[in-house]
Amino acid sequence: MTDGLDARNVEFRAGPAHILRGADLRAGTGTTIALLGPSGCGKTTLLRVIAGLERLSAGQILFDGEDVGGIPPHRRGFGLMFQEHALFPHMDVERNVDFGLRRLGWAAERRDRRVGELLETVGLGGFGKRTLEGLSGGERQRVALARALAPEPRLLMLDEPLGSLDRGLREHLVVEIREILRHLAIPAIYVTHDQFEAFTVANELAIMRDGRVVRVGAPGDVHGQPGTEFVARFLGMDNIVDGVRDREGMIATSAGVFGPVAGPPGAVRLLLRTEGSAVVEADGPNVVRGLVVARVFLGGLTRLVIDTTAGRLEFPMQTAPAGMAEGDEIRVRVEKVQPLISEPAEPLSK
Per-residue pLDDT reduced to its tens digit, 193-203? 889 999 999 99
| Same domain flag for 157 and 213 | yes
pLDDT digits (tens, 9 = 90+) for 126-166: 999 999 988 888 888 889 999 999 999 999 999 988 877 78
Residues 209 and 223 reside in one and the same domain: yes
Percent of the chain with pLDDT over 90: 71
- CA atoms of 43 and 38, how far apart (whole Å): 9
Q: Which residue has the higher pLDDT, 345 or 293?
A: 293
What residues make up the domain containing 103?
Answer: 5-231
Within this chain, do residues 210 and 304 fall inside the same structural domain, yes or no?
no
Residue 344: pLDDT band by 50, 70, 90 thresholds? low
Cis upstream peptide for 187 (omega within 30°):
no
Q: Using the predicted structure, report yes or no on whether residue 103 has a pLDDT greater than 90.
A: no
Look at the chain and report how many structural domains it folds into.
2
At residue 319's C-alpha, the angle toward residues 316 and 322, to 5°, is 110
Q: How confident is the model at residue 85 (pLDDT cuts 50, 70, 90)?
A: low
CATH number at residue 241: 2.40.50.140
**What's the Rg (C-alpha) of the chain?**
24
* Residue in 227, 202, 233 with CA at minimum distance from that of residue 314: 233
- Domain check: are 209 and 271 in the same one? no
Q: Give the residue-averaged pLDDT of 215-225.
A: 96
Tell me whether residue 313 is in a domain: yes
CA–CA gap between residue 41 and residue 129 (Å, rounded): 41
Confidence of residue 349 (pLDDT cuts 50, 70, 90): very low
Q: What is the mean pLDDT of residues 109-123?
A: 92
Q: Are residue 214 and residue 237 in the same domain, yes or no?
A: no
With vertex at residue 110, the alpha carbon angle to CA 106 and CA 113, rounded to the nearest 5 degrees, is 140
Q: Is residue 132 situated within a structural domain?
A: yes
* pLDDT of res. 218: 96
- Which CATH number is 101's domain given? 3.40.50.300
Q: How confident is the model at residue 347 (pLDDT cuts 50, 70, 90)?
A: very low
Of 168, 201, 231, which marks where a domain is finished?
A: 231
In 3D, which of 279, 292, 276, 294 has the Cα closest to residue 335? 276
Asked if residue 118 and residue 80 are part of one domain, the reply reads: yes
Q: Is residue 251 part of a domain?
A: yes
Note the pTM of the prediction, 2 decimals: 0.89
Do 221 and 260 lie in a common domain? no
Based on the domain organization, do 194 and 277 belong to the same domain? no
Boundary of a domain, candidates 201, 231, 261: 231
345 found inside a domain:
no
